[in-house]
Structure 1
Amino acid sequence: MNDTRTGNPISTPLKKKSFSLPLILITSLFFFWGFIHNLDPILIKHLRSAFQLSHFQASLVDSAVFAAYFLLAIPAGLIIQKYGYKTGILVGLFFFAAGCFMFVPAANTVSYPFFLGALFVLSCGLAVLETAANPYITILGDPEKAPQRLNFAQSFNGLAASVAPIIGGVFILGEEPKTQDELSRLTQTAKLAYIQAETSLVKGPYIILGLIILLVMFLFLFVKLPEVKEGTEKSTKNFLQVLRLKNVGWGVLAQFFYIGAQIYVFSFLLVFAEDAIQMKGQDAKYYAGMAGFLFMIGRFAGTFLMKYIVPQKLLAIYSVISIILSIWVIIGSGVSTLYALVTLTFFMSIMFPTIFALGIDGAGSETKSASSLLIMSIVGGAIIPPLASKITDISGNIHFSYVVPLICFVIVLLFSLRFKLR
């Protein structure tokens, strides 16, 4: 049986208290993948300096991460359909931990491609986790409150975004890296030793995180999670047919462009601070932490505001403000453009969970397939940042590259306007 308002399947009734532990455990996953994603800006700046990478080459960190979402989203959906949400979560946590531990040989071999490989494996785990956890949160309770519930869980993703850059900055960035001129004066042996020392700084944080993820995996292994039954209807459509459902296709398109914009804004914030206003990384990491904090506050504020403003209308308002801030980043100068970039993260905050919840609204028995497609669209994070970075390399002006996020926010606005704004 489906809910007559949303078309979503009605979950098997469970006592409210039985949701508490599952919700806590699932919400913890939002924190962990938020933490690892928000180490990427630190990693990009660090590896860019250590290996003397161009903006485009540095953006391949994002490509390695989000290509995994494209390749794993459908297999993850099939695993969840056949074996359930819990199995999907366990598989995701395994690959998450394995990718973290691969940073050790990557650092030991002083290989940038090895780092990209470790990030790819880690992100395969994240793709499976997000494919399972996002729809699980939306169906574990009242369907009318699904966007609000998902925004609340995603708020802990924002919490991670506020602390990861500062923690990563302390343990990974260390001292300010040597400039190209300083490196050119080193002998080949001294240069290799320097790069080895720089790459070794990443091992500690990723080993610790890998061990924590293994502990979380064992908790999920022994804790019983309610497998929510999504009615008696079975999935009858292939993925292309699901893509043509009422909201799914537009949701996939909006999510693709939004994620691309989000990843570029966060991943290159430290690089922007360095290139645009010559700010050192040790100082810029606090702005990255501030961006993560505003992102978290934006999620909690969005959850609150959705009690009074329908999600699609709030999404439209935030999209318009994001467009205005992006324009200032492009045409402005000085530290005010960095402030605009940091402020932008507050208004981006509700976009992913709101697009996700609206995108699967009405999917019914195809919810898991729709979820896979929406997670698959996160591949925008692999494509948009390299495109924007190439604009920087060609023009020599990082401000111009923010035309790309501007276009992305326009598309999110168009998605929101498809719904009746009441």
Structure 2
Amino acid sequence: MAGGVPIQTMTLSDGYLTGRALVFPISLITSLFFLWGFSYGLLDVLNKHFQTVLDITKLQSTGLQVMYFGGGYLLFSPIAAEVLKRRGYKITVLMGLTLYSLGAILFWPTAHFSTYQNRIASFGGFCVCTLVIACGLATLETAANSYAVVIGNPTSASARLQFCQSWNGVASFIGPLIASKFFFTGANANNLVNVQFVYLAVACAGVVVAVIFIFAKLPEVSESALQGSEQMILRDDDGNVIAQGPLYKQYNMIFGFVAQFCYVGAQVTIASFFINYVTELKDASYSSSEAANFLSYALITFTVGRFIATALATVFQPDFLMIVYTCCAIAFNGYVCAGVGRATVGVLIVLFFFEAPMYPTIFTLGTANLGRHTRRGAGILVMGVAGGAVFPPIQGAVADAASTHISYIVPLVGFVYVLGYVAFHWLRHGRHIFRVKDIVVSGEVGIEGGAMCKVQDGKYVEHAEKNDP
């Protein structure tokens, strides 16, 4: 557009960034993780707040999750992936920030004109606002997760994404902390006034980050760099050619998508019904405000778990680490379903620790070795977030029919599938416990004499053959 602000970009056509060169782009991308973590933290609290103010059932309140994860992530992620492939990371990020800010601004008039008489229509309006925000977040997540993986050394991709996702956790517990003070106390407990101001602040934050991205020189990973692997014969541990067939034959990615679907469904239901679970304890009398504080503690635990998992991912193989974490999650989730007494709240909080590294690890495992399919594969893995639209209504129906405690069997089913996926991946890829630097890389790093090499413990140990023209 004539007279417009030029978008500053730098193309990274070969290799990947290392050392200090990684600091600036990773910092920019981390700001996006913070934005959607904050938005997600608010969503779980609004779920309970709308039940109180708008007098809707638990099942009806899950409409927010359906719009957020189903409408935004399931339907819009493929569009975001196509924009990412055609226009690059920076344009995709700016598109996501625009949608994010627009959806947040729309919360203002929706909350302002909400009354008890038009409460059902008002809730529908909030669902539409949530949908617009979710489209923006799906776009940001498609770009940011993929960028964090491909911009640096592939051997540290899991740890790098774990670190970026950790700041998502930092923001996600700030949301409930704010909500417990502004949504559930005093006169604010029965109105939507402060919802307007909180989401206006969210919109302003999105605009500020967008301006920073417009003027920042974000290194762009070119399509040729991602497709560089196509010029070589890449093989897995069993000698099978990888990343050469069509997208629908990338079976690891497909099973990774299902695992992501199940995990996110489990994570969302655990958080969405957390406040209901705590306030319905028979031998305790916790208020919604106290329960929101407990949710903040749980999300702090989740965040600490992400940072600890980041450190562990530099030592242990990601799939092995996931087996340990998922087994613990299944055990704690089972206790939450059957346990009694106040101790169950502590167990539920600890459960957040063990689910913490699952999303970034599954994303890294599912998008590994995709070559020319990397960007579309990232969009498909992000589509797995749609599990958050399917699991909550099921759990809501069980909670309404039986109890919230019993309804926690729904996320337990999700964790069981995740365990199956990561266990099969671990068995299929060498059964390593400690991290093995054994990958195929392309570009300036990992090239010896113009041929691709396998790199193990920093040494070239094997050449890969080039494709014949």
What is the aligned partner in structure 2 of residue 225 from structure 1? 218
Instruction: Name the stretch that deviates more: 274-283 or 248-257.
Output: 274-283
2:410 is equivalent to residue 407 of structure 1? no
What is the aligned partner in structure 1 of residue 303 from structure 2? 296
Residue type of the alignment partner of 2:405? H
Identical pairs, percent: 33
Q: Mark the CA change 1:15 to 1:157 in structure 2 (over 3 Å): closer, same or farther.
A: closer
Find the residue that maps to 2:320 and give its secondary structure: helix
Following TM superposition, by how much is the alpha carbon of 1:234 offset from its aligned partner in structure 2, in angstroms? Answer: 8.4
Find the residue that maps to 2:192 and give its secondary structure: helix
Q: Mark the CA change 1:351 to 1:243 in structure 2 (over 3 Å): closer, same or farther.
A: farther
What is the aligned partner in structure 2 of residue 265 from structure 1? 270
Following TM superposition, by how much is the alpha carbon of 1:362 offset from its aligned partner in structure 2, in angstroms? Answer: 1.4
Residue type of the alignment partner of 1:25? L
CA–CA separation in structure 2 for the residues paired with 1:101 and 1:243: 39
What is the aligned partner in structure 1 of residue 205 from structure 2? 212
2:28 is equivalent to residue 25 of structure 1? yes
Residue type of the alignment partner of 1:17? R
2:416 is equivalent to residue 416 of structure 1? no
What is the aligned partner in structure 2 of residue 74 from structure 1? 78
CA–CA separation in structure 2 for the residues paired with 1:274 and 1:224: 49
Following TM superposition, by how much is the alpha carbon of 1:235 offset from its aligned partner in structure 2, in angstroms? Answer: 11
What is the aligned partner in structure 1 of residue 362 from structure 2? 355
Q: Mark the CA change 1:416 to 1:120 in structure 2 (over 3 Å): closer, same or farther.
A: same
Q: CA RMSD in A?
A: 2.1
Following TM superposition, by how much is the alpha carbon of 1:17 offset from its aligned partner in structure 2, in angstroms? Answer: 3.1
Q: Mark the CA change 1:227 to 1:279 in structure 2 (over 3 Å): closer, same or farther.
A: same
What is the aligned partner in structure 1 of residue 346 from structure 2? 339
C-alpha distance after superposition, 1:223-274 (max 9, x if no partner): 11111125273899xxx94243141011000000000010111121112111
Q: Mark the CA change 1:241 to 1:278 in structure 2 (over 3 Å): closer, same or farther.
A: farther
CA–CA separation in structure 1 for the residues paired with 2:288 and 2:319: 37
Instruction: Name the stretch that deviates more: 260-269 or 14-23.
Output: 14-23
Find the residue that maps to 1:362 and give its secondary structure: coil
Matches within 5 A, 1:241-252: 241-252=246-257
Residue type of the alignment partner of 1:145? S
CA–CA separation in structure 2 for the residues paired with 1:57 and 1:235: 48
CA–CA separation in structure 2 for the residues paired with 1:265 and 1:212: 28
CA–CA separation in structure 1 for the residues paired with 2:375 and 2:351: 31
2:265 is equivalent to residue 254 of structure 1? no
Q: Mark the CA change 1:243 to 1:147 in structure 2 (over 3 Å): closer, same or farther.
A: farther
Residue type of the alignment partner of 2:419? L
What is the aligned partner in structure 2 of residue 189 from structure 1? none
Find the residue that maps to 2:227 and give its secondary structure: coil
Highest Rg: 1 or 2? 2
Following TM superposition, by how much is the alpha carbon of 1:60 offset from its aligned partner in structure 2, in angstroms? Answer: 1.1
Instruction: Name the stretch that deviates more: 164-173 or 97-106.
Output: 164-173
Following TM superposition, by how much is the alpha carbon of 1:15 offset from its aligned partner in structure 2, in angstroms? Answer: 6.2
Find the residue that maps to 1:173 and give its secondary structure: coil
| Residues paired across the two proteins, number | 393
2:86 is equivalent to residue 93 of structure 1? no
CA–CA separation in structure 2 for the residues paired with 1:244 and 1:394: 41
CA–CA separation in structure 2 for the residues paired with 1:313 and 1:10: 33
Q: Work out whether residues 162 and 361 of structure 2, in 8 Å CA contact, stay in contact via their aligned partners in 1.
A: yes
Q: Mark the CA change 1:360 to 1:10 in structure 2 (over 3 Å): closer, same or farther.
A: farther
Instruction: Name the stretch that deviates more: 158-167 or 125-134.
Output: 158-167
Q: Work out whether residues 266 and 391 of structure 2, in 8 Å CA contact, stay in contact via their aligned partners in 1.
A: yes
CA–CA separation in structure 2 for the residues paired with 1:28 and 1:49: 33
What is the aligned partner in structure 1 of residue 5 from structure 2? none
CA–CA separation in structure 1 for the residues paired with 2:126 and 2:52: 14
Q: Work out whether residues 169 and 300 of structure 2, in 8 Å CA contact, stay in contact via their aligned partners in 1.
A: yes
Unmatched segments (≥5 aa) in structure 1: 1-8, 179-193
TM normalised by structure 1 equals 0.89
Matches within 5 A, 1:158-237: 158-175=169-186, 198-230=191-223, 231=225, 233=227
Which of 145, 158, 162 aligns to 1:134? It is 145
CA–CA separation in structure 2 for the residues paired with 1:171 and 1:214: 23
What is the aligned partner in structure 1 of residue 112 from structure 2? 108
Tell me which of the two structures has the higher relative contact order, counting C-alpha pairs closer than 8 angstroms and 6 or more residues apart.
Answer: 1
Unmatched segments (≥5 aa) in structure 2: 1-11, 115-121, 231-244, 433-469
CA–CA separation in structure 1 for the residues paired with 2:310 and 2:40: 22
Which of 129, 134, 143 aligns to 2:154? It is 143
2:15 is equivalent to residue 12 of structure 1? yes
Instruction: Name the stretch that deviates more: 263-272 or 277-286.
Output: 277-286
CA–CA separation in structure 1 for the residues paired with 2:325 and 2:187: 36
Find the residue that maps to 1:53 and give its secondary structure: coil
Following TM superposition, by how much is the alpha carbon of 1:162 offset from its aligned partner in structure 2, in angstroms? Answer: 2.4
What is the aligned partner in structure 2 of residue 119 from structure 1? 130
CA–CA separation in structure 1 for the residues paired with 2:378 and 2:229: 13
Q: Which has the larger strand fraction? A: 2
C-alpha distance after superposition, 1:129-172 (max 9, x if no partner): 00000010001110011011000100101111222211121122
CA–CA separation in structure 2 for the residues paired with 1:139 and 1:233: 12
What is the aligned partner in structure 1 of residue 453 from structure 2? none
